[in-house]
Homo-oligomer: A and B are copies of this chain.
Amino acid sequence: MESQMPRRLAAYDWDDLRFFLAVARTGTLRGGAESIQANHATVSRRLAAFENAVEARLFDRTKGGLRLTQLGEELLPHALRVEEEIAAASRVVAGRDARPAGPIYVSIPPFLALSSIVDDFAEFGRQFEDIDIHLQVSNAFADLERREADVSIRYAYEVIDDVVGRRLVRCSKAVYCSADYAVKIKDDGGDGLTWVGWNEAEGETTAPWVIKGPFPNARLRHRINEAVPQVTLAAAGAGLTYLPCFIGDRYPGLVRAPYQKPVPDRSLWLLLHSDLRKTARIRMFVDFLAHRIKSRKDEFVAGATQ
């Protein structure tokens, strides 16, 4: 966690960003100073010190004001986000979170971006206009541990971390393929067919899930360590693939392969740190999402027949 941070990070005084921002906004030293209740001489010095640390000019000084340089412009968005983050922090300490506002950082694996859950995000954003949803699309389970995300949505059998996990629904999976491909399937165990699967142990087609599945004779030819291209490949007619029903049923061009039934799969988990349970907007979001998803339980659990 430390080694990845540049050594020079410590060289900066984070408070300098506050001065930088004040000047960037007002365009003058005096105006910026007033906006943060400081002296313009102080602002000038802090700015000079910051520029010295950066070893570059952040503003062009002109009579009549300061204008951001190229580098200053590039720095501005970062400074703004720092400010937003600190504002969110101050809301936490002030307990003003009772009136929910601010950002929520949600970490999801890429394939969930193909699910109806994104609709829920949209709906939430509509109902709570003062809350911005930041989706962090990543497979890294670690986001939550490192506390970079407030909420994490995962698709897994169990959750072991020291986080608060709510199991939303136990999902089903089924074998999917393109509509064109489906007509080629006979009730013969998958002779001549192709699997699109994961990069697992090089057990050729002897992988247990192949043998135990409804199409043991199909060959595992496409091995991909990521769900999204599996979906797109299958939709393009490359072969059979196991997908959670709430993905496969939704993705255009995919149909459930005949001669099989959905089987139980992993669960959808809503994870957050126990310390965040109290903050209003996180609670709001978690409850909202849990309610919406559970109310569409059929979409995820997908019984024996569609």
Contact = CB atoms under 8 A, between A and B. Distances in A.
A13 B86 CA distance: 10
Interface residues of A, number: 82
Contacts of A232: 119
A44 interface: no
Contacts of A82: 14, 82, 85-86, 89
A252 interface: yes
A109 B226 CA distance: 26
A80 to B, nearest CB: 5
Given A14-B86, A92-B71, A121 B110 contact: yes
Interface string A49-70: 0000011100000000000001
Contacts of A80: 146-148
Residue with the highest number of chain B CB atoms closer than 10 Å, among A1, A2, A125: A125
A250 interface: yes
A126 interface: yes
Contacts of A137: 118, 121-122, 125, 132-133, 135
Interface in A117-162: 118-119, 121-123, 125-126, 132-138, 146-150
Contacts of A91: 6
Given A86-B14, A119-B232, A96 B134 contact: no
A77 interface: yes
Contact of A111 (B76, B92, B122, B273): B122
**How many copies of this kind of chain does the complex include?**
2
Contact of A93 (B75, B86, B89, B275): B75
A94 B275 contact: no
Contacts of A279: 74
A78 B56 contact: no
Contacts of A83: 5, 9
A229 B123 contact: yes
Given A92-B71, A93-B56, A147-B77, A5 B87 contact: yes
13 contacts: A5-B83, A5-B87, A70-B275, A81-B105, A110-B125, A111-B122, A113-B122, A114-B119, A119-B232, A125-B137, A132-B137, A134-B135, A250-B252
Given A78-B88, A121-B137, 19 more contacts: A6-B91, A10-B18, A10-B37, A12-B86, A14-B18, A17-B86, A70-B278, A73-B273, A77-B150, A78-B89, A80-B148, A81-B148, A82-B82, A82-B85, A82-B89, A122-B137, A122-B226, A134-B136, A249-B252
